[in-house]
Structure 1
Amino acid sequence: MADILLVEDEANARQILSLGLNMQGHQVRGCESAAEAEKLMRAYDFDVVLTDLRMDGRDAGLDVIRAGKNLQPGARILLLTAYASAETAVAAMKEGAFDYLTKPVSAEELAAAVERALADSATADAAHGDHAGEDSAAKNEMLIGESEPMRRVRSRLQRAAQSDFTVLISGESGTGKELAAISVHAASNRAKGPFVPVHCGAIPEGLFESELFGHRKGAFTGADYNRAGLIESANGGTLFLDEIGEMPIAVQVKLLRALQERRIRRVGDDREHDVDVRIIAATNRDLEAEVRKGTFREDLFFRLNVVPVHMPPLRQRREDIPELAKALVQQWNDGRARLNDDCLARLSELPFMGNVRELENLLQRMLALSEGGDLDLALLNELYSVSQPEPEVSLSHLQKQEQDLDSWLEKIERQLIDEALAKTGGNITRAAEELGVSFRSLRYRLKKLGVAGEDE
């Protein structure tokens, strides 16, 4: 997931592009002018800046590029234009753009361009060892918590860093799977090499093979030059395959061979290239269930699941929420605002089905709307009551959520089990008593949902 600034003066185009990027798992802030973009770049950090060229009747996108070069030196800037020409491309590249896209741009083209930009950014950070180390250390500090589940996670991650085996990180969305991957990379003997994150759900199926393995010039329409893929970009370092369960079966076969042989073949190429890459994969799915359904290869699952790590949901480590919330506010606000005790106590009671990502979003809105130095309980209750209505049990609500009955019931079942485990400190026997079911029944449900407890 990336933080993206979208600069587009046409409201409809801005809305469509934002929706597409959000569906790929990215967080987007949009604006309609170079002046607004500069203000946002002074207030927030971005991974990618996507800007239209023509705004207000002039090439204002070049102004965005110049501002981004000064204010967001770590971001990659993509230029979006309906007036593409050799002169436009040269001018944009000279000003500091990473690449440019021609309107109308498809969702597939945009997703692929964002992935290339993120991969290039990760590789550049790793090439500057000190900067990469500082960045990794800062992110590692966000694996906060002294609860028993988090102590087990940190212990497993430390052991994983001491070897070069593949790691499979599981857990719900927003639990910090990428931070866990970064911590393994930063503590390993590959720390000076690149860390290349790839969100498998954001790459269209038709472009997956080319993005991952690269292609040879002329391999397909639009392949105008030889290009290394994301695996080669991670050579000497770590490739992080986020949401590996989204990878198409055909690509899974080729990834398995690359893992076994440590060699890859670009699309359209007649020779292979040696690669030295450590793979860390992450998923919010039950891959064993996907194997049984035939949507994920069993041999690839076993190849990836050498060192398994499960990231616990926030609901199972509520005692960590105050420390985590204070650290986030400190990070964003340099200590100018603080959470009072009543607010921290209330935060610890909330379900946070979106986990740390939901907590981050809530705290950011509180910071944006607070009038004084303290973030108090009144503001928290106001925002949370608006954003978190009680779920309705009705057919119309089910259809509005675009969910089926099984997924809705699983969501309710998971929430109740999580609450029972949190109340009993993860003890399955006592949680079963709280839920009024047998120990065997709860163990079956836990296995089905991929949730761990202390009795296991």
Structure 2
Amino acid sequence: MADLLLVEDEANARRILALGLELQGHRVTTCASPEEAEACMKSATFDVVLTDLRMDGRDAGLEVIRMSRILQPDARVLLLTAYASAETAVLAMKQGAFDYLTKPVSGEALAAAVERALFDAVDDRDDTALVATQAVPVADGVDDDGILIGESEVMQRVRQRLQRAGQSQFTVLVSGESGTGKELAARYVHACSTRSTGPFTPVHCGAIPEGLFESELFGYRKGAFTGAEADRVGLVEGTNGGTLFLDEIGDMPLSAQVKLLRVLQERRIRRVGDDRERDVDIRVIAATNRDLEEDVRQGHFREDLFFRLNVVPVHMPALRQRREDIPALARAIVRRWSEGRGRLSDSCLKRLMTLPFMGNVRELENLLQRMLALSDDYELDVPLLDEMYSGLQDNPQISLQAMHDADLNLDTWLEINERQLIDQALLKTGGNITRAAEELGISFRSLRYRLKKTGQGEDQE
């Protein structure tokens, strides 16, 4: 529960917005003008200030933003406007607004924006909690698996955000390519949270048939359908006091999305065939390798559920975006799979840093496992690495089954192969873009465009 100040001159809009925020459990103080807002700010403390832009024929919302910076410096300000433009947004941000929302704004979008603002406030002022998390033991296997190891700037930011997310109860949406460690990021959040002693329940949304989603998630009563011979507790109810991890949330059917939204809103579930509701106390972390915003635009994913999940967004970087972490990752993986007996030569580590690893850490781990299996006395060097890696590249598994096994769609599969070919050309030419373009049979401009499109351009600047 948070204390909110709502500044809106239109009475009906003020009443509706306040009611929606109160239903979310917040305490809401309303006022109709900047002058009333100033009096409220002088007499009470607020966590979030929500203000309309246009009031009394002028951009009075900007006055409220400036006022908040002085009277409520710790509050986050959300601007509500029916006159949104790029210029308005830039000006509002410069004045100190946290975010802006375009009217008419849905209840879900408003609730999610408030939660993001509250998380940002905690993120900004609760640095002592962050220091404390450094001593919190993380879940077994997180660092041993090598996924969250790394001192690159991007990984330090990711770990910091995950640690701070663990100190809150907000929903987290972890995005990233396959193999970047989204589940282990979720386990890290769980381990850093007050729920660390409770269950962590992973659910792969793409592995449950659509017709079984409701019974799997919410359970059922005896006799609810043919074969229901006894009461069964669902995954949500069985996670009480812990964290429910919904992997590949983009694969969840629309019918199940509606029911999940209700759980997030009301923290209650109803088993299939039951006539009573049950309270549940869970924290939800979702993950996806898809562009959920595009799925929302295409009508494949509910917008209100997206807002509910995307309160604390965390993006797991691709391995090619943190190549400096490869040596530490490789050593950790080899140590784990060889029980401490494996050794990587310096030249082998340098060679690993040049490989594309489009399958990310998962591909790195698979490659090192193969090398350990065929090595002499667990000594890993360049000749063995080249033999293993070239063997994989010379015999590509370009098949529908291979695409399904990798849990990818056609666009992602083609993008990965494009990236691999570009990386091979750059590797062969020592990073020379002009010669790499010649190897690929395309123009210099075309290669530069493709490098930018696939996120590889930063490495070639």
Instruction: Report the TM range for the smaller structure's normalisation.
Output: 0.5 to 0.7
State the SS of the aligned residue for 2:286: strand
CA 1:322 to 1:227, structure 2 compared with 1: closer, same or farther past 3 Å? same
8 Å CA contact retained: 1:140, 1:183: no
Q: How far, CA to CA, are the matches of 1:199 and 1:405 in structure 2?
A: 20
Counterparts of residues 161-180 of structure 1 (less than 5 Å): 161-180=166-185
1:298 aligns with 2:299: no
2:339 to 314, 330, 334: 334
1:410 CA displacement: 3.5
Q: How far, CA to CA, are the matches of 1:242 and 1:406 in structure 2?
A: 20
Amino acid at match of 1:383: M
What is the aligned partner in structure 1 of residue 391 from structure 2?
A: 386
Runs (5+) with no aligned partner, structure 1: 1-132, 423-433
Q: RMSD value over aligned CA atoms?
A: 3.3
Counterparts of residues 69-84 of structure 1 (less than 5 Å): none
Q: How far, CA to CA, are the matches of 2:140 and 2:409 in structure 1?
A: 42
2:187 to 182, 188, 191: 182
1:325 aligns with 2:325: no
What is the aligned partner in structure 2 of residue 78 from structure 1?
A: none
TM-score by length of 2: 0.59
8 Å CA contact retained: 2:137, 2:192: no
8 Å CA contact retained: 1:398, 1:408: no
Percent identity over paired residues:
67
Q: How far, CA to CA, are the matches of 2:320 and 2:275 in structure 1?
A: 51
Rg larger in 1 or in 2?
2
Tell me the alpha carbon deviations over residues 80-100 of structure 1, each in whole angstroms, 9 at most, x when there is no partner.
xxxxxxxxxxxxxxxxxxxxx
Amino acid at match of 2:307: F
CA 1:324 to 1:406, structure 2 compared with 1: closer, same or farther past 3 Å? closer
Amino acid at match of 2:342: A
1:445 CA displacement: 4.5
Q: How far, CA to CA, are the matches of 2:137 and 2:169 in structure 1?
A: 22
Aligned length: 303
8 Å CA contact retained: 1:316, 1:419: no
State the SS of the aligned residue for 1:388: helix
8 Å CA contact retained: 1:315, 1:419: no
1:372 CA displacement: 2.3
CA 1:398 to 1:192, structure 2 compared with 1: closer, same or farther past 3 Å? closer
8 Å CA contact retained: 1:171, 1:311: yes
State the SS of the aligned residue for 1:230: coil
1:373 CA displacement: 3.6
Counterparts of residues 334-353 of structure 1 (less than 5 Å): 334-353=339-358
Tell me the alpha carbon deviations over residues 416-447 of structure 1, each in whole angstroms, 9 at most, x when there is no partner.
89999x9xxxxxxxxxxx974799x899947x
State the SS of the aligned residue for 2:174: strand
Runs (5+) with no aligned partner, structure 2: 1-135, 428-442
TM-score by length of 1: 0.60
Q: How far, CA to CA, are the matches of 2:409 and 2:255 in structure 1?
A: 28
What is the aligned partner in structure 1 of residue 163 from structure 2?
A: 158
Amino acid at match of 2:172: V
1:364 to 365, 369, 372: 369
8 Å CA contact retained: 2:199, 2:242: yes
Q: How far, CA to CA, are the matches of 1:314 and 1:348 in structure 2?
A: 10
What is the aligned partner in structure 1 of residue 88 from structure 2?
A: none
1:194 to 193, 199, 205: 199
State the SS of the aligned residue for 2:223: coil
State the SS of the aligned residue for 2:287: strand
1:349 CA displacement: 1.1
CA 1:443 to 1:279, structure 2 compared with 1: closer, same or farther past 3 Å? farther
8 Å CA contact retained: 2:338, 2:378: no
State the SS of the aligned residue for 1:139: coil
